[in-house]
Structure 1
Amino acid sequence: MQRFLRNPARVGTPAATSAAVSRQMAAPIPEHGDPLVVELGAGTGAVTEWIQHRLGGRGHHLAIEIDPVFAGLLRTRWPGLDVAEADAAQLPALLAERGLGAADVIVSALPWTLFSEEQARDILTAVAASLAPHGAFTTITLSLGRRMPSARRFRDSLASTFEEVTESRTFWRNPPPAFVYEAHRPRQRRPSAGS
C-alpha cells in the first residue's frame, strides 16, 4: 500500500491481484511441454505464484518488474525465477539477451490506464513483437475505469494489435473489481507506402 501511495502510476493498485483473477490470467499456459512465459509487472508475486503453479517446474518464466523493491522480493521468494528489473517496453531486447525465442504466453498486470498513449503503444508493440504466432496475451484491467478515455484507447489498441480479443467476466471480489482481456494472433504490421 505504501508503494502504491508513493507512486500509483508505477504500482497500479493498492492491493494484490486476487487468486481468481491470477488463475484466469495464467489459464492459457499450456499443460504440456516447456513453454516460455513472460510476466509484465510482476509486483509482489500474486500472479507469479499461479504461473509457477501452472508451469510446475517446466519451461522458462521471465518476470519483468520495474520497481527494485518488488524485483528483490520476487528473487527472494522464487530463487529460480528469471527476474529482469526493467521497463516492459524492453521485452524484445530482454528476450534476445537471454537467447530466448518468442513467448508462448505473456501475462500482464501493468496499469494500462495510467500510462500515456505513447507508453501503452510502445509496450503493446513490444508484446506483439515478442509473442509466438500461436501465443496468448492476457492482461488485467480494472472495471471501475473501463469508461475512462484511456481505457477505451487501450481496448482499441488491443483490437488493432491482435486479431482476437476476448473479455472475461468481472471479478467483483478482486480489490478493486477487475476483468481480464485475452488476446491472440498478433496482427502483421504492413510496411507503409514508400518504405
Structure 2
Amino acid sequence: MIAPLLAASSRADAPVVVELGPGTGAVTAALRAAVPELRYLGVELNPAMADHLAARFPGIDLVRGPASVLPQALAERGLREVDLVVSGLPWQAFAGSDGTALVSAIAAHLAPSGAHTQFTYRWSRWAPPGRRQHRELQRFFGHVDLSPTVWPNVPPAVVYTATLPRPDGV
C-alpha cells in the first residue's frame, strides 16, 4: 500500500511533505527512505503515537495535535506550500464541517503541482463517511484518482490521489 502513497512524492526535487496521522511511522519510514532530501512535517494527535514516532525518528519535525492545526503549523515554519500531503486519517472520525475544513486547508496549502494522497480501507469507501470524503476530494481537487484495491494490506485498502487543488472548492 505504500507505493501508491509515495508515487506523488517524486513531483519535486526536495519536496515538502506533510503526513497527517503518522502513527507508528510505517509510512514515515518509507517516505524518508524513498526521498531522503524531503522536508517532513508530521501531525499526530495521539500522545503515545507521537512519543513513539519522536523516539523512532530523532529530530523529526512533529506537531502534537489534531490535523486542524495544519495551517498554523505551516505558517510557524514559514511554509506557504507543500508538495505532498499523505493521510491515513479515518474519515469516519470527521464530522461534515470538520472534514470540509480539513480538505479545504490541504488544497489551500498544496503547491499547484502537488498531490494529496489518502488511504482508506476498501469497505469504508462505500459507507456514508467514505462517500462524503470522495465528494469533498472532488470538490477541492480538479482530479481524483482511486488506486486498485491493495489486497495484501490487512484489511484491504485503496488510495485516493487528489491533484490540481482548488482551495475555494469551485
Q: TM-score, normalised by structure 1?
A: 0.82
Give deviations 1:64-99, integer Å, cap 9, x for gaps: 101111111111111131111021122111001011
Equivalence for 1:127: 106
Q: Specify the alignment match of 1:166 in structure 2.
A: 145
Rg comparison, structure with higher value: 1
Match of 2:13 among 33, 39, 49: 33
Residue 143 of structure 1 aligns to which amino acid in structure 2?
R
What's 1:52 paired with? 32
Give the 3-state SS of the residue equivalent to 1:30 in structure 2: helix
> Which among 80, 84, 92 is matched to residue 71 of structure 2?
92
* Equivalent position of 2:88 in the other structure: 109
Aligned residues: 170
Structure 2: unaligned runs, 5 residues or longer: none
Cα pair distance change 1:31/1:166, threshold 3 Å: closer
Any conservation in 2 of the 1:31–1:55 contact (CA below 8 Å)? no
Q: Is contact 1:23-1:47 (8 Å) kept?
A: no
State the match for 1:9 in structure 2: none
- Residues 90 and 126, structure 1, Cα contact 8 Å, conserved in 2: no
User: 2:152 matched to 1:178?
Assistant: no
SS for the counterpart of 2:10 is coil
Instruction: Answer yes or no: is 1:76 the counterpart of 2:48.
Output: no
1:126-154 deviations in Å (ceiling 9; x for gaps): 11111111101000011112221111111
Amino acid at match of 1:81: I
Give the root-mean-square deviation of aligned CA atoms: 1.6
Relative to its length, the structure with more strand (as a share) is 2
Identity %: 39
TM-score by length of 2: 0.94
For 1:124 and 1:106, locate their aligned partners in 2 and report how far apart those are by CA, in whole Å: 11
Unaligned runs of 5+ in 1: 1-20
Amino acid at match of 1:76: A
Alignment correspondent of 1:140: 119
